[in-house]
Structure 1
């Protein structure tokens, strides 16, 4: 548009000089042409905002100089074409349309003056062309504004979605941390408390047994410290740090939980395939949670941990010979009713066992099954599917 303006201005000046050589108004025409060109060049430097007062003053000066030069030389009327768009960009729509109408009127008068007689095409063509140009420009301006609004909405929606994902991620991480703490530190501290209380009760009557309880509590404390350090480092179970696999970790857990009136046996069946770290970690945490609840709530003397590797799934069973419970009550126990072996469905603040186990199994696409009856012990079974990895070239 700027190139068109200077091209039209130069052509109009050349036409005037060619057709009116030596006229007294020639210096004025040249001076006004140079002034109009300079004013037009100064436009981008007077203010970036369309409604800025300096830009309005600049536009008024450009139009005023153009009107004067058109009165003196009607051939300069075609310079109005770029001025149409300058006014449409600078002024509000109504003011811009008024300016376009004024400029068009000057163009019509100038063309009729040049023609020397009435010509219908000179009377109606400039207004028609100006109306089409203004309508197209205003339509494109509205479309651009709508596009900017859509882009702003998209950016705002993306920001809201990102904030929602951050909140959900934070909540999920908090839940995961809660389960990790419940299955490691909290259970270790609970076992230590029970052992120290037992040692205190028999301290005078049976010092040897009391020292045994203290040594067991010390061993649990040592393992809990390792869990805490590992927890801080990368939240991976300490029993899995040596790379021995989940079966070895469960065997070590069973040995550690045995004692103080409870014997825990471990048995593995099937050929263990390579398991993802999150599956191994989940199986170990589930077993820890189940055995902690057996010790605290089941009044059991023996418990069995069985890990079974099948073709399409891995199954972890934790069974005890405790007092059992009604499975229907276990669901209510998760909300605060009843106590059970291997479920963690307890009252008070210790109600994370069963929900944590179910959540861990669900996160891996697995299922949780509980079989029990009052006085007949309980069996907790978790099945996690093993999805084979498909080579990339076959996908």
Structure 2
């Protein structure tokens, strides 16, 4: 079956025209057959066969609806018109075949050519009927004229509907393409977000853990000869840190909460990492809680823990501090995490490393904020503030 490039309404019109032509041709053949006009019968059959052959051939042509198909269709219409004219002069029964030809003209020809063609065809039908009757009557004029007007109006309406249908189809195609692009862009955004998330997790956990292990092993090497007991303790601490790092890596795959929070509270986890993050360095860390602790959603616990890990990692690696402190403060409507040190400090307006950007993004993801107060030679304070969920507020 041909894949017609026309709307359903226009296809219905086409097959209605073909059906009307077939019915009128059968009626005409029956009329001339009753009168024993064999040549006219044979001519009518030949016209019908040629008409049907054109319909069959057009459905098998490649590039249906293209320029070649249109040229062949117009040539077919000319031959059908000539055949109709011969039969209309031979027998009056064939005159009414002009009606479906009106539609064919309006469908296959440009409007500027189709309308004069329909007018000529109408006049030819009127003159053929008058020639057979031997006189021109009002009925002979009104019949073909009304048929031409009706055919013109119907074809025009159907063309307008077809144009609107094509416009809607193009709009739907554009919408489908746009939706596909949006889906692709959304997929890219999801992949980038996941990549960013993994980068943050690795920076705040594995990277910090590996730094702690390196510092502990370096301290153990220094104490290996003069203080073997201390060196042994450092090695044990490094082994524990390596185990925790391994568990962090496994949690990336399982997308679980941080190991430090799986079997303990946020307060206990922060107390533990405050000691382990600076182990093997000369930094003395202190952890404090202010206010009354309240339960927080797991994502809040994880975010505050990751921010503390990132900030303490910066203290141990970059600050050169002697003392550091971590304070978790519970107020009526917010929870605050302060990580401060008395190290060398820096200019926050000129230094914006990946770690600080990651901590700020973590806070913003929960509607919070992160501020950094520092100056060269004056230490550093990192303050994360998260609004307590309404259902958690005391």
TM-score range, shorter chain: 0.7 to 0.9
| 1:1-25 superposed Cα distances (whole Å, 9 cap, x missing partner) | 3245424532454366458832324
Change (3 A) 1:297 1:369: same
Residue of structure 2 in register with 1:46 after alignment = 60
Aligned pairs, number? 366
Residue of structure 2 in register with 1:273 after alignment = 295
Residue of structure 2 in register with 1:370 after alignment = 372
Residue of structure 2 in register with 1:117 after alignment = 136
Change (3 A) 1:221 1:79: farther
Residue of structure 2 in register with 1:21 after alignment = 34
Bigger relative contact order, structure 1 or 2, given CA contacts below 8 A and separation 6+?
A: 2
Paired with 1:241 and 1:278, the residues of 2 have a C-alpha distance of: 12
1:315 aligns with 2:336: yes
Change (3 A) 1:86 1:130: closer
Residue of structure 1 in register with 2:228 after alignment = 207
RMSD: 3.6
Contact 2:322 2:343 in 1 (8 A): no
Deviation at 1:291? 0.9
Partner secondary structure for residue 279 of structure 2? coil
Partner secondary structure for residue 276 of structure 2? helix
Residue of structure 2 in register with 1:250 after alignment = 270
1:9 aligns with 2:22: yes
| 1:185-211 superposed Cα distances (whole Å, 9 cap, x missing partner) | 111112222222233334333333333
Deviation at 1:354? 1.3
Partner secondary structure for residue 332 of structure 1? coil
| 1:120-155 superposed Cα distances (whole Å, 9 cap, x missing partner) | 656865555555445434433433333333223222
Paired with 2:61 and 2:184, the residues of 1 have a C-alpha distance of: 38
Change (3 A) 1:304 1:121: same
Contact 2:84 2:94 in 1 (8 A): yes
Paired with 1:150 and 1:30, the residues of 2 have a C-alpha distance of: 46
Paired with 2:310 and 2:232, the residues of 1 have a C-alpha distance of: 26
Change (3 A) 1:18 1:80: closer
Residue of structure 2 in register with 1:330 after alignment = 348
Pairing of 1:158-169 with structure 2 (within 5 A):
158-169=179-190
Residue of structure 1 in register with 2:178 after alignment = 157
Deviation at 1:293? 1.1
Deviation at 1:361? 0.9
Paired with 1:37 and 1:389, the residues of 2 have a C-alpha distance of: 80
Match of 2:319 among 273, 290, 298: 298
Paired with 2:98 and 2:35, the residues of 1 have a C-alpha distance of: 26
| 1:170-223 superposed Cα distances (whole Å, 9 cap, x missing partner) | 322222222111111111112222222233334333333333322222221111
Contact 1:46 1:58 in 2 (8 A): no
Change (3 A) 1:124 1:10: closer
Paired with 1:210 and 1:87, the residues of 2 have a C-alpha distance of: 102
Pairing of 1:53-132 with structure 2 (within 5 A):
57=72, 60-61=75-76, 64-65=79-80, 67-73=82-88, 74-85=92-103, 91=108, 94=110, 98=113, 101-102=116-117, 104-115=119-130, 116-117=135-136, 121=142, 125=146, 128-129=149-150, 131-132=152-153
1:31 aligns with 2:50: no
Residue of structure 1 in register with 2:356 after alignment = 354
Paired with 1:85 and 1:207, the residues of 2 have a C-alpha distance of: 106
Contact 1:314 1:385 in 2 (8 A): yes
Contact 2:99 2:147 in 1 (8 A): no
Unpaired segments ≥5 residues, structure 1: 335-350, 391-395
| 1:337-361 superposed Cα distances (whole Å, 9 cap, x missing partner) | xxxxxxxxxxxxxx22211111111
Deviation at 1:318? 1.8
Change (3 A) 1:123 1:15: closer
Unpaired segments ≥5 residues, structure 2: 1-12
Deviation at 1:383? 0.9
Paired with 2:93 and 2:327, the residues of 1 have a C-alpha distance of: 101
Contact 2:102 2:148 in 1 (8 A): no
Q: Return the TM-score normalized by structure 1.
A: 0.77
Change (3 A) 1:229 1:181: same
